[in-house]
Structure 1
Amino acid sequence: MTRYTLKAIVAATAIAASGAAMAQITIGVIAPMTGPASGLGIPAGNQAKLWPKEIAGQKLNVIVLDDATDPTQGVQHAKKLVTADKVDVLMGSVATPVAAAMAQVAEESGTPQISWSPVAVPAGKDKWLFRMPQSNAVMGHAIIEHMKKQGVKSVGFLGYSDAYGETWLNDFRPQAEKAGIKFGPVERFARADTSVTGQVLKLVSANPDAMLVVASGSGAAMPQMALVERGYKGKIYQTHAAATRDLMRVGGKAVEGGFVVSGPAVLAEQLPDSHPARGEAIKFVQQYEKAYGPGSRNQFAGHAYDSVIVMEKAVPIALKTAKPGTPEFRAALRDAFEKIGKTTLAHGVLNWTAQDHWGYTDDTGVMMRVTGGEFKVEK
């Protein structure tokens, strides 16, 4: 072997080692920083700013884009991220219609997607889609169990006319009917609507024992305010998309006494010591509120926090197979998500498998009540 050949080999080895050291994982975040769902997207984006600089020795390159609560814009961003930026994973959106539209891009490009909304897709279409929130069915179970304890015999439905509202309708109705709770009337409204007077008049006229409002963020306050203003005296329930202080900020006294289902992260300090998620939930709250102030936590910032935990478990597995920035790594990361096993998050214990890309059990949802302008765990 000549001295020249030896030098060439040493140089090539150094370059390869340098390339390994310089490898980075690129995460493409799509969330509504503007538009109707911005009250959910901004906290998630804020949490992304607190992410570590590296995972498993690989630097993190995080690209955050605003979908403006618009599915078309979300798709455009997703296409750019998978083609031009060659992201290793897509994250988002917190808006279900946007997350659903992104899922098609994820599937077509072979890029894993961690959704921050409980998005449902047709059977067999979630190979690349993993959900960080609890499913509507899981959260619906918590609501139904609470309704049974409260003696509720009938429930009306007032929800978004988009994917979030429809999936809640499809998941909740059979659970209610199985529990012997009469379901209906059903009324819908658009996210951008500023009034639901017509829908509320029909519901109040029917006067069911309880109402299920399916809306998100500050937009969840308006329908509850309308119900109260029209004299409805029954129990009002909200979904986990309403588990944010915007509900009280906008709704004021009208939302007092209302029930909201949530993941454990929102209620960290109120969880019993025996709750499996309490430790991680408190870590999330302390980190987030140190950065953004007391009371600033919400459901969706918690999902962004939890996303790092699953990445920290999955990335070392994927790195055994391929290098970041390649189709092989994206496929390996997807496979790794199904192999991380039971994982304790701020929002509960998750277990993604090849058969289940939701991962939470029926006992994950926590019922809380608005009391004195604060969320309090229902005992």
Structure 2
Amino acid sequence: MNLKKIVCATSVLAASIYAQADIKVGVITSSSGPIAMVGIPQKNTIDLLPKKIGNENVHYISLDDASDPTASVKAVEKLIKENNVDAIIGPSGSPNASAVIATVAKAQVPLLAPVGTASIVIPMNAQKKWVFKTTQNDDIIAEALIQDMVKRKFKTLGFIGTADPYGENWGKVVSALAKKHGIQVVAQETFQRQDTSLTGQALKLISKKPQAILVAAPGSAAVPPQAALFDRGYRGQIYQTHGAALDQFLTLGGKKVENTILAASLMLVINEIPNSHPSKAVASKYINAYKAKYKQTPATFGANVYDAGILLEKAVPVALKTAKPGTVQFREALRNALETTKEVAGTQGVYNMSPTDHSGFDKRGREMIIVKNGQWKLLK
């Protein structure tokens, strides 16, 4: 072999070794399909994630699961087997995230899930210890909603949620909290995210004459139940979960969602938040970067992916002290580092993780918000 070939071969080998040293992060989003309103801002946010952490380059591998949980599993398997990723951000939907838990746990790959349902991290077990959640747990949001109902002296509540892990867990959490505070859940209904008619559920809820109704659904699916209730004359107080926290909720719902109350991210009312809030500067930085790149305001769902980048930025340097990227030792060290996250400000609130809490939000991760004149406003 001549000198030129030796130099070329050496360069290729060196480049290969360097590439292997890069940190690889898979990102699975539902940027098409029924929950694309959630997945598109998440996919867009990938370009705003840190490209370098410490001295290591970070390489992101983006896949679309088309809102299908089966496709989510296949995407995870591909990222693990073919790309040897060190961590995965996603998927977008609660059913999708629930479907991949066993796969990431078996491969020992940390999953940072930007989804609503707390059931992916609660109750904690050997599989869920590999999952970290970048949104507020249901109980933190539900507590704020129930407190508002108590303040308004409501005694009866109707509930309608999606027939999937998101709606199911919300049903459990709200029923328990309502009972604790002397509020009777007089009717509970479910629906599929893709349902186009909810007349039956609306009529059943209205027949029980609840003083308030809580809708538990993510993304655009939050609108149809409320629209159906409005069209059939219900004028009691409607509450929504943080799953409705996107501007499309306002445009799709129009006057039918006026006066809706929800507990959600400070991002919706960023201009009303005091500068002293630990998350305001972080959220503002994300909003401005997203606007600069895409010429529109990001949904809070995109911010959940951005926060995953913040968590990795804090955890990776700790893991690098133990092992090199691309190894099971590094993934284990990364999982351990994520679990010890303390007082890290994200766009949605402040993260304090522990072996039993893989969401880490407290009351700083929610604001009480109302829809007034087609806009989000702080509830005062």
What does 1:1-379 correspond to in 2, within 5 Å?
19=17, 23-119=21-117, 120-121=119-120, 123-124=124-125, 125-294=127-296, 296-379=297-380
Give yes or no for contact 2:146–2:178 (8 Å, CA) kept in 1: yes
Greater shift, 352-361 or 162-171, is seen at 352-361
Give yes or no for contact 1:269–1:282 (8 Å, CA) kept in 2: no
AA partner of residue 310 (structure 1): L
AA partner of residue 326 (structure 2): G
Query: What CA deviation, in whole Å up to 9, does each residue of 1:202-257 have, x standing for no partner?
Result: 10111111110011212211111110000001000111111001111111111111
AA partner of residue 81 (structure 1): L
TM score, norm. by length of structure 1:
0.92
How far residue 146 of structure 1 moved from its aligned partner, in angstroms, is 1.7
AA partner of residue 274 (structure 2): P
In structure 1, C-alpha distance between the alignment counterparts of 2:72 and 2:244, rounded to whole Å: 22
Structure 1 portions without partners, runs of 5+: 1-11
In structure 2, C-alpha distance between the alignment counterparts of 1:370 and 1:105, rounded to whole Å: 40
What is the DSSP-based 3-state SS (H/G/I as helix, E as strand, rest coil) of the residue aligned with 2:48?
A: coil
What is the DSSP-based 3-state SS (H/G/I as helix, E as strand, rest coil) of the residue aligned with 2:157?
A: strand
TM score, norm. by length of structure 2:
0.92
Equivalent pairs, count: 367
What is the DSSP-based 3-state SS (H/G/I as helix, E as strand, rest coil) of the residue aligned with 2:359?
A: coil
AA partner of residue 194 (structure 2): A
Greater shift, 278-287 or 354-363, is seen at 354-363
In structure 1, C-alpha distance between the alignment counterparts of 2:38 and 2:376, rounded to whole Å: 17
| Alpha carbons of structure 1 residues 225 and 218: separation in structure 2 relative to 1, 3 Å | same
What is the DSSP-based 3-state SS (H/G/I as helix, E as strand, rest coil) of the residue aligned with 2:202?
A: helix
What is the DSSP-based 3-state SS (H/G/I as helix, E as strand, rest coil) of the residue aligned with 1:323?
A: coil
How far residue 58 of structure 1 moved from its aligned partner, in angstroms, is 1.2
AA partner of residue 365 (structure 2): T
How far residue 272 of structure 1 moved from its aligned partner, in angstroms, is 2.0
In structure 2, C-alpha distance between the alignment counterparts of 1:95 and 1:118, rounded to whole Å: 8
What is the DSSP-based 3-state SS (H/G/I as helix, E as strand, rest coil) of the residue aligned with 1:213?
A: strand
| Alpha carbons of structure 1 residues 16 and 290: separation in structure 2 relative to 1, 3 Å | closer
How far residue 159 of structure 1 moved from its aligned partner, in angstroms, is 0.7
What is the DSSP-based 3-state SS (H/G/I as helix, E as strand, rest coil) of the residue aligned with 2:129?
A: coil
How far residue 266 of structure 1 moved from its aligned partner, in angstroms, is 2.9
How far residue 41 of structure 1 moved from its aligned partner, in angstroms, is 0.5
AA partner of residue 86 (structure 1): N
How far residue 275 of structure 1 moved from its aligned partner, in angstroms, is 2.0
RMSD of Structure 2 on Structure 1 (CA): 2.0
AA partner of residue 97 (structure 2): A
In structure 1, C-alpha distance between the alignment counterparts of 2:363 and 2:174, rounded to whole Å: 13
Counterpart in 2 of 1:3?
none
| Alpha carbons of structure 1 residues 47 and 141: separation in structure 2 relative to 1, 3 Å | same
In structure 2, C-alpha distance between the alignment counterparts of 1:123 and 1:50, rounded to whole Å: 31
Give yes or no for contact 1:21–1:58 (8 Å, CA) kept in 2: no
What is the DSSP-based 3-state SS (H/G/I as helix, E as strand, rest coil) of the residue aligned with 2:361?
A: coil
Query: What CA deviation, in whole Å up to 9, does each residue of 1:90-132 have, x standing for no partner?
Result: 1112200001111111111100000001341454131100000
In structure 2, C-alpha distance between the alignment counterparts of 1:46 and 1:20, rounded to whole Å: 27
AA partner of residue 74 (structure 2): Q
How far residue 154 of structure 1 moved from its aligned partner, in angstroms, is 1.3
How far residue 39 of structure 1 moved from its aligned partner, in angstroms, is 0.2
How far residue 304 of structure 1 moved from its aligned partner, in angstroms, is 1.2
Give yes or no for contact 1:22–1:59 (8 Å, CA) kept in 2: no
Give yes or no for contact 2:24–2:59 (8 Å, CA) kept in 1: yes
